[in-house]
Amino acid sequence: MERLDAAQARDHLEMIDRILSQSQPRLCSGGEYFVVWGIAGALITLIGHLAGAGLAAAGVLWCIPAVLVASVIFSVVRGRQKRQAVTRSSLVQREFFNVLVVTLGLAVIVDIAVFRIFPGIAGAAIWSVAEAIVLLYIGLHGNRRAQIGGSLIVVSLIVANFAAENAAAYVLAAGMLIGFAGFGLAELIAHD
Amino acid sequence: MDELLLSKVRLGVVAELLDFDWVAFSELARSLNVSNGNLGAHMSKLLDAGYVEEEKSFVNRRPLTRYRLTNRGRDAFSTHVSQLQALLKAAT
């Protein structure tokens, strides 16, 4: 049986320290998901508002499930592609994706199935809250862009609350576009 | 001490996998600066001991082999590091 002396033990521990300090797993890769879901959230909010206010034909409401389905299909297909090709994926990244799926998944369910309790603009606000949770969670792990994006969405929620009734949807949509999709775009630019 | 982790390469592999879900064989060889043949032999021993899991697939018709640490490997690493620290402490 091999034995280690103190010098070898020190050498092995130093190697472990070096590897762990260099690993620095990235919390998130895949800015495209944020871009897609940020745009989808804003589009759904605007379509719902325009149809509700009578500024667009009620038929445009059918665009909402279409946007949702397209976003889900994109996410699943892209997720499979990335999962197959990735050579190094961190545990933190997996945890982050779990938070993303659970939070946004819950928001979709609430918006679709709990529409009597959260009608109209309340559904959009739920979506904004979900997006803010995802970004602020990433922000807690030190991502400055996510902190800014999440804060912008929170600000949009507060501004929407005090804005004129017919302006609230535009404010929330802007928060989703700038905060969520903007964060995704910034991530894509930063890591390319 | 865990004899399997007395090898610097195998210990390095486990440390590399610690914070990651999956890491490709090529990434491990590059990070640890070892040849494919050398790393392959060490990975076989870690696989046999149940310290790592292996996943083989094809991406763009090229083979991709990835590894991740099992709970058994994580526990073994944790115990081994404690023993290394104890050894160092005893010597100083």
- The tens digit of pLDDT for each residue in B4-45 reads 999 999 999 999 999 888 899 998 999 899 999 999 999 999
CATH 1.10.10.10 fits B3-86, yes or no: yes
Whether residues A89 and B19 touch (CB distance < 8 A) is answered with: no
Give B24's contacts in chain A (Cβ within 8 Å).
87-88
The domains of chain B are located at 3-86
User: Contact, A150 vs A178, CB < 8 A?
Assistant: no
- The tens digit of pLDDT for each residue in B44-70 reads 999 999 999 999 988 778 888 999 999
Beta strands, E only, B1-92: 20-24, 52-59, 62-69
| pLDDT of the residue at A192 | 62
Q: Could you tell me the mean pLDDT of each successive run of 10 residues in chain A, 192 residues long?
A: 78 90 64 92 93 85 89 88 72 81 89 87 93 92 90 97 92 96 92 66
| Contacts with B, A 17-56, CB within 8 Å | 19-20, 23, 25
Q: Based on the number of CB atoms within 10 Å of its own CB, is B82 exposed (0-12), middle (13-18) or buried (19 or more)?
A: exposed
Nearest to A111 by CA among A120, A98, A99, A102: A120
- Please give the DSSP secondary-structure letter assigned to residue A179: I
| pLDDT of the residue at A29 | 62
| pLDDT of the residue at A1 | 46
Nearest to A146 by CA among A41, A39, A26: A26
Q: Based on the number of CB atoms within 10 Å of its own CB, is A164 exposed (0-12), middle (13-18) or buried (19 or more)?
A: exposed
Q: In terms of CA atoms, which chain A residue is nearest residue B62?
A: A85
Cα dihedral sign for B70, B71, B76, B82? positive
Nearest to A48 by CA among A106, A124, A108: A124
Nearest to A52 by CA among A150, A185, A166, A191: A166
The domains of chain A are located at 31-191
pTM (two decimals): 0.71
